[in-house]
Amino acid sequence: MSHAFNFADLTPDLQLDALQSIGFYADSGLLALNSYENRVYQFRADDGKRYVAKFYRPERWSDAQILEEHQFALDLVTAEVPVVAPIARDGVTLHHFSGYRFALFPSCGGRPFEMDNLDQFEQLGRYLGMLHQVGSQRPFQARPQIDLRQDIARASQQLLQSRWLPAHLAQPLQQVLKAAQSQVPAMSGSSIRCHGDCHAGNLLCNERLTLLDLDDALQGPPITDFYLLLSGDRHDQLVQLDVLLEQYENFFHLPQSQLAWLEALKLRRMITYMAWLDLRWGDAAFQQAFPWFSQASYWQQQVSELEQQVKRLDLPALSLGLSDSW
């Protein structure tokens, strides 16, 4: 299948048949949840419990990479880190049916994470420290390793070949992408298994926080799971970081030197997100959700924002006076 794959033949009947193939029988309809990369559905089974079925996009991850994601989640649950882990059926978490791969998870409810709630930040720091402690125990073998320059280079190639790139913006985009690739720092030091997409949308609050969606789990430095949690001006980010680390450091250590990579990680995110949209544009779901992607005004705005983000690479790094020892 090509990158234009669009899940068109993943019909409700096929979904139900897939679930029945592993002994789960839906007692309700399948409610589509917010997911573009994969297809995710919530349902109530005949045992009265609610579950979530996740059908993986073909050709994105190998079986080995998905199984590493699953094992990481299971390792975290064993260590009492509140994540949603796949349900094993006869010892198997990744199932195959009619050309699709899918997994089943318990349904998890809760309130959205509040970015201005420092109590929630403190709790998150504790669980993130626990997650990284588990993540450091053994590395991923199959899943990707974050590399700022290579990741930006790969995404840049995708964007510069995009059919949606307006001709008059090709040179400005090429220039800012070249600057991004050359100016981001080379990350060094130990790497661990990270969540990979740790932001407010992947957090739920109930009696305690729950971390969702390890689909983007990767090998990287601990700071990888911090940069999407910091927002606002410099003072706001320092407060958020201070609260996160108060509990985090009881379980794992974040070298202060990694704070210098925050803006570079944000820049990488901006570029790879654009490339992801371009790669998936053949899927009608993306065209409906992101109609502005094909508009010249979007590309103009992105060039401007990328130029501003490249300039932020020269700003002084956040500093809390922490030890640089590993």
Dist CA 259 CA 121 (whole Å)? 18
Match 């990694």 to its residue by tokens. Answer: 258
pLDDT digits 0-9 by tens, 3-50:
556 688 899 999 999 999 999 999 988 999 988 899 999 999 999 999
Map out the domains of the chain as residue ranges.
12-108, 118-312
Catalytic residue among 197, 225, 278, 283: 197
* 47 in catalytic set: no
pLDDT for the residue numbered 284: 85
pLDDT for the residue numbered 322: 45
pLDDT digits 0-9 by tens, 153-194:
999 999 999 999 999 999 999 999 999 999 999 888 889 999
pLDDT for the residue numbered 268: 98
* 213 in catalytic set: yes
Which of the following CATH numbers is that of domain 12-108: 3.30.200.70, 3.40.190.10, 3.40.50.1400, 3.20.20.70? Answer: 3.30.200.70
pLDDT digits 0-9 by tens, 60-70:
999 999 999 99
| Class of the domain covering 118-312 | mainly alpha
pLDDT for the residue numbered 212: 94
- The answer, yes or no, to whether residue 137 has pLDDT greater than 60, is yes
Dist CA 298 CA 280 (whole Å)? 17
Give pTM, 2 decimals.
0.93
Task: Report how far apart, in Å, the C-alpha atoms of 244 and of each of 70, 121, 248 are.
Answer: 26, 6, 6
Catalytic residue among 75, 151, 213, 225: 213
pLDDT for the residue numbered 285: 85
pLDDT for the residue numbered 324: 41
Of the given ranges (237-241, 248-252, 285-289), which has the lowest mean pLDDT? 285-289
Q: Is 12-108's fold the same as 118-312's?
A: no
Question: Which is nearest to 169 in space by CA: 312, 302, 309?
Answer: 302
